[in-house]
Structure 1
């Protein structure tokens, strides 16, 4: 005779499906708090939030595309183009800082337009289309910089630099920018007709077409908006270093994908969502910060980060299957 009833098994399964990853996050938080004395300090927690700001911006763009049922492997290229267009506009053409920001967003829009053209007009799968954009963008950056050297602009206007190093009432400006982007995405993706149509397309494209939704229009808009969003992250990165570094955005790609799928594992229906993406980004930021505070050497820290990332994605997939 089993000591565990079917109802108990079902309750445990339901709990793991809904809150399994949140339990893991709490466990990591408790571990780092106990193992490192400075983890819970206000300064360190603010460092985690500030250090996660750029990743959050890129992950939100990725959330939009994944909600449409696709994937965007070119978010790093949009990041790079935003930085490159803004820095070159100020350095070579003496553009005002606010004009440079608009030009930088335009660089991201170009990446989104290329993706939209490949996916909507040529019917290339999002995976292959954005992979192609990644290779094209990578080659363009190497050619433009003569092999991949950075483009420095040490005399960048202070207003532009404040995108990364400024603050408002003690709150870092990049945190404020990320919070504004987060709010906009939450309103439009989670609380508007636009968002409902995006999710409808992602769930069942054919049904969305039958319902009268202009699917191609929303897919194109999704890729364009996502790329423009990532360009904002690129400009923050370039404002911090006062330079454009080719292929710098690639380092955010896997973390952005992981954050979206971690967030989806928390959702009751396994769907990409803005609050979940925020939790995923903060989880990755917490792990990176905690491992740094533990004083691990570079190689060990990278290996552990990779293992935790793979484990997190495996758990997210397992939760989706259980659901």
Structure 2
């Protein structure tokens, strides 16, 4: 009896197998190697880089970006994108300060107003996407422009709102400490832990992961994708609202449209983190590593004392290289 020929897919898989695992491992951990190399480089070039105050500065400086990136992580994991998380951050800062300064509300109520401001942006996105059927990109882009214009109108063209006499309780939300650790870092750590449990240890996380892989198949399987998609955007807005409250508490000032500066880095952190996942999926731990990479790069370049334009160019080059690596890993994961 003649032996049946090996099928082409099986033959291709067998042909790829010897070096495939090694190449996959190198690609997946290449970013970590690059991160370690960058850390060593800055340590050798700037003596103060390894100082305790500088490392703490990196952690402190990455707190708000971590929250924005986590908000984006859950959206991207569900197969969407949110270009309005910066606006949700701004609304969190804006609503909390105005609640105290203009309406004289107690600071705990003002804190809730800030969270409601961020959630409001998420709810608008959910309505546009789930009820009206607008694609996430266009819906959140529209919310971004509307929210940006609303801030300019509400502040007479973009004037800062200072609140130097802010209640001590609200200042302590970000500026206080517990057991020697900044409250801001404690809040971020708690939220990051909750996100990890939500995405990795719950039915909710499994279902939005299924939606992100193939939404139509998830719907056929009986997952109420519309409801889950709505909750994802509201959750993202709420998380960004927390970042806004922390920002206003820390600086005692509201600057219109300040949240936009966190958007691009947040997106980059999500995709950098996805490159380290075996299935190239957005994940909490990878996102946090991506945020720390970006914060370390920024602080390291500052310590080198480079010209602003040179620093911006180097930051862009390194970030682009990291994203190209993330794309290469994701493309290979889809192929295999």
TM-score range, shorter chain: over 0.9
Aligned twin of 1:268: 278
Q: How many residues align?
A: 319
Per-residue CA deviations over 1:46-81 (Å, capped at 9, x if unaligned) read 111111000001100000100010000000000000
| Alpha-carbon separation, structure 2, partners of 1:7 and 1:124 | 42
Aligned twin of 1:244: 254
Q: Please tell me whether residue 311 in structure 1 is matched to residue 311 in structure 2.
A: no
1:14 to partner: Cα distance: 2.1
Q: Please tell me whether residue 128 in structure 1 is matched to residue 138 in structure 2.
A: yes
Q: Please tell me whether residue 180 in structure 1 is matched to residue 190 in structure 2.
A: yes
Pairing partner for 1:288 from 298, 307, 314: 298
* Structure 2 counterparts to residues 62-77 of structure 1, below 5 A: 62-77=72-87
Q: Please tell me whether residue 37 in structure 1 is matched to residue 52 in structure 2.
A: no
| Alpha-carbon separation, structure 2, partners of 1:6 and 1:190 | 30
Per-residue CA deviations over 1:124-147 (Å, capped at 9, x if unaligned) read 110110000000000100111110
| Alpha-carbon separation, structure 2, partners of 1:198 and 1:47 | 34
Give the TM-score taking structure 1 as reference length: 0.96
Q: For structure 2, which runs of at least 5 residues remain unmatched after alignment?
A: 1-14
| Alpha-carbon separation, structure 2, partners of 1:21 and 1:91 | 46
Q: Which has the larger radius of gyration?
A: 2
* Structure 2 counterparts to residues 100-115 of structure 1, below 5 A: 100-115=110-125
Per-residue CA deviations over 1:269-304 (Å, capped at 9, x if unaligned) read 000000100100011011011111111122221121
1:6 to partner: Cα distance: 7.5
1:21 to partner: Cα distance: 1.1
1:8 to partner: Cα distance: 6.4
Pairing partner for 2:307 from 276, 297, 310: 297
Is the Cα contact below 8 Å between 1:116 and 1:224 reproduced in 2? yes
1:200 to partner: Cα distance: 0.7
| Alpha-carbon separation, structure 1, partners of 2:196 and 2:16 | 38
Structure 1 residue matching 2:115: 3-state secondary structure: helix
* Structure 2 counterparts to residues 1-323 of structure 1, below 5 A: 9-323=19-333
Per-residue CA deviations over 1:68-95 (Å, capped at 9, x if unaligned) read 1000000000000000100000001111
Aligned twin of 2:8: none
| Alpha-carbon separation, structure 1, partners of 2:24 and 2:231 | 36
| Alpha-carbon separation, structure 1, partners of 2:237 and 2:272 | 21
| Alpha-carbon separation, structure 2, partners of 1:91 and 1:6 | 64
| Alpha-carbon separation, structure 2, partners of 1:215 and 1:317 | 27
Aligned twin of 2:6: none
Per-residue CA deviations over 1:193-217 (Å, capped at 9, x if unaligned) read 1100110111111111111111000
| Alpha-carbon separation, structure 2, partners of 1:297 and 1:177 | 35
Give the TM-score taking structure 2 as reference length: 0.92
